Structure 1
Amino acid sequence: MNPLLQRLHPYPFERLRELTASLTPNPALRPINLGIGEPRHPAPPLVMQAIDEAAAGLSVYPPTAGSPALRQACAGWLQRRYGVTVDPATQVLPVNGTREALFALAQVVVDPTRPGATVVCPNPFYQIYEGAALLAGARTAFANSDPARNFAADWRQIDDATWSRTQLLYVCSPGNPTGAVMPLSEWEELFALSDQHGFVIASDECYSEIYFGDEPPLGGLEAAVKLGRTDFRNLVALTSLSKRSNVPGLRAGFVAGDVRWMKAFLLYRTYHGSAMSPLVQQASIAAWGDEAHVEANRTLYRQKFAQVTPRLAEVLDVALPDAGFYLWAGVPRRHVEPGDDVAFALGLLAQYNVTVLPGSLLAREAHGVNPGAGRIRLALVAGVEECLEAADRIVAFTREHA
């Protein structure tokens, strides 16, 4: 057995299942799950129609690089969304969702034979970053979120010695779970560090189309162009249709960026056997080419967050995020043991049958603290009425234990 498997940590949802195994939720209330970030708005009909029309494609092997039409659709979306021009033939690759690609990219980038090979991650973070790093033979280093800056990662916590060993940096903007969006100045700092130390930046942007202000979130490729880095040196951006188009089961996205890394990634994927189904390719072309369903989806989230956030703010430390579909809420310090997010989540489930994810399960202790401790992640993915009912239960539970 691969010994690196022993280095993996249990996934947050597995840990939550273990914590709640002996717990009986209140049977008088229907269960409401705000723990999993799984979009539950309806999938757009145009995607379903494209799948139906592409059934004949199952009789052929799909190319790993994807069809020219799909790569062009992805490149076209980058141009319309970010004003970024890429070569569809050399700078774009379809992937089976960002989760698959985030993991695979580390296997391409990391050279475990180099002493101290390191992957830097934000903290809290999407757990795939850590698993990908460990299975690639690297160690991890974490930049904690900073509450004073809307929970953006504090990259300055990483010292020069660590940066010098870093081969890959994962960034997530808009962030999971905090919703923070990286400004251009932060990108400039990271690009300078990448130039100095030679590491690759993997920009996870799967929440980019759910935002609450007038200006859409800045993307990594867009930031590079604004800073004159039109070759996208050591930069790979990853995005997906899961959140944008409410099709998490489709497993469809793409990566784009530095020609050199796209070539290496394609070589890896050729052997890895990760070609996208022709049906999924046709559905993706339809989805990337349409913005009407994306705007409607964004409107639903805006309406939902506008109603739920102030209600929860009556009892929790919570505010509207920059983007994404999570609320990153602090539990009351006067509740159970100071800021105990796990106890809060267990009590809420037992008494009010609402599932939330304890923030400490999404983070690692780094720089002397666990930056997720005392907070909970709430995924507002269900309909407005269900989310409002959950909010009312959370308010009632919190006030009972004040």
Structure 2
Amino acid sequence: QVFDKIIVLNSLSKRSNLAGLRCGFAAGDPEFLGRWVKFRGLAAPQVPLPNQAVAAAAYGDEAHVIENRRLYNEKFDAAERHLAPLMGKVTPEAGFFLWLNISRWGDSESVTRDLWTDTGIKVLPGAYLASDQSDGSNPGKSYIRVGLCASLETTETALGRLASWLGDKA
């Protein structure tokens, strides 16, 4: 079979900025999906009909997806303008978060706390998104995750504050 042992999961969280909707789909290997659908029907919450209607409308519209991509590209361009002079290239190869190596300024928790206290910028410590390893290290300890979900104007302001703070601490 063409789709034997292949499963694709898709979510409106990333495609359409609808993370709170908690709606997506799976496609691929019919044998696996037959068992998975049966299990999911017994073990997982069902998607309410209004959510399904929103999901169907979102999957039926590509215009908002194209616009979201354009807006993210503008925000990545802004990130490069503000942060690349201090950190080098910051735009990821994929995804829509910035993962910044902040080891020059401290660990992810202390930098996150200080950014909030000093600038009002909320980021997520990379250490919170990775597991401690058997040797006690944490691969996320040197990184912060910066979301680019706000408007371009708000994102520009936050990136400017972030760059100033990093520059002052360098």
Counterpart of 2:2 (choices 207, 230, 240) is 230
Would the aligned equivalents of 1:363 and 1:372 in 2 still touch at CA under 8 Å? yes
User: Gaps (5+ residues) in structure 1?
Assistant: 1-228
Cα displacement string for residues 292-311 of structure 1 (whole angstroms, at most 9, x for unaligned residues): 11111111111111112231
Q: Deviations over 1:137-186 (max 9, x none)?
A: xxxxxxxxxxxxxxxxxxxxxxxxxxxxxxxxxxxxxxxxxxxxxxxxxx
Partner of 1:48: none
Q: 1:303 pairs with 69, 74, 95, which one? A: 74
Q: Could you tell me which amino acid in structure 1 is paired with residue 35 of structure 2?
A: A
The answer as to 2:145 corresponding to 1:377 is: yes
User: Is structure 2 residue 122 aligned with structure 1 residue 355?
Assistant: yes
Give the distance between the partners of 1:260 and 1:289, measured in 2 at CA: 27
Match in the other structure for 2:100? 329
Specify the alignment match of 1:277 in structure 2.
48
Runs of 4+ in structure 1 off by over 3 angstroms are 365-369
Mapping 1:28-177, distance limit 5 Å: none
Q: Give me the whole-angstrom Cα distance separating, in 1, the residues matched to 2:97 and 2:119.
A: 20
The structure with more helix, counted as a fraction of residues:
2
Distance 2:89 2:109 in 1: 17
Normalised by the length of structure 2, the TM-score is 0.88
Could you tell me whether the CA contact under 8 Å between 1:318 and 1:330 is conserved in 2? no
Find the aligned partners of 1:318 and 1:379 in 2 and give their Cα distance. 16
Answer yes or no: is the 8 Å Cα contact 2:103–2:143 preserved in 1. Answer: no
Label 1:232 to 1:322 Cα distance change in 2 as closer, same or farther (>3 A). Answer: farther
The Cα shift of 1:318 comes to 4.6
Question: What do the CA deviations read for 1:58-85 (whole angstroms, capped 9, x no partner)?
Answer: xxxxxxxxxxxxxxxxxxxxxxxxxxxx
CA positional deviation for 1:362: 1.1
Give 5+ residue unaligned stretches, structure 2. none
Any conservation in 2 of the 1:359–1:375 contact (CA below 8 Å)?
Answer: yes
Measured in 1, the distance between the counterparts of 2:57 and 2:13 equals: 14
TM-score by length of 1: 0.39
Q: Distance in 1 between matches of 2:99 and 2:50?
A: 36
Q: Which structure has the larger Rg over C-alpha atoms?
A: 1
Amino acid across the alignment from 1:401: K
| AA in 2 matched with 1:390 | A
Does the 8 Å CA contact 1:316/1:332 hold for their aligned counterparts?
A: no
SS in 1 for 2:56: helix
Q: Percent identity?
A: 36
Check whether the contact 2:115–2:121 (CA below 8 A) recurs between aligned residues: yes
